A and B are shown apart, each in its own frame.
Chain A
């Protein structure tokens, strides 16, 4: 049974950092690119970042580039998102999603999300 379980969300002050994790199981982690997607309260989904199955390629949305870093540990089947210099508009539910390496544009599996609130 495929499972993606996000953790690490919480309330953080503007300018501070937070690290999200996503534990994957039930599928061949090394055959999938991994994404982070977020949804701010009352708004639609926004793609945040992607990392290739071999970690050689990473890309970010303009809104987070230079502040967020995506990484993965294939020995532990985990995905991470290091978020620095957080801003109030980063407040959102953050989802991790897996995309088979033959079609990165399709989010085959999703987690249930973890809430990040940036507020003083």
Chain B
């Protein structure tokens, strides 16, 4: 089956620095990828929708200047947390949509997620 890879799976960074998380579709092209965030003991919430070759669409309340999303190719989307703070510590997970037809014909695959700790 299709595989979505995230890297790194765990990262610790210092407060004030930036950290990049990669999401790759390994055996299919994904024109659309999604980024989610999960705070402790809370559900996963959509942060943004990443479309290849265009600007990402951010959900309400998500700072686009803080969470930079780049979808430069059909197999790679990156999430950069800029000027990270301890409150950004969270579980970040991406998903990739295989197919470009009507929604019912697509399948979405999830990466394994990335744990970010800002110290």
Q: Do A and B come from one complex?
A: no
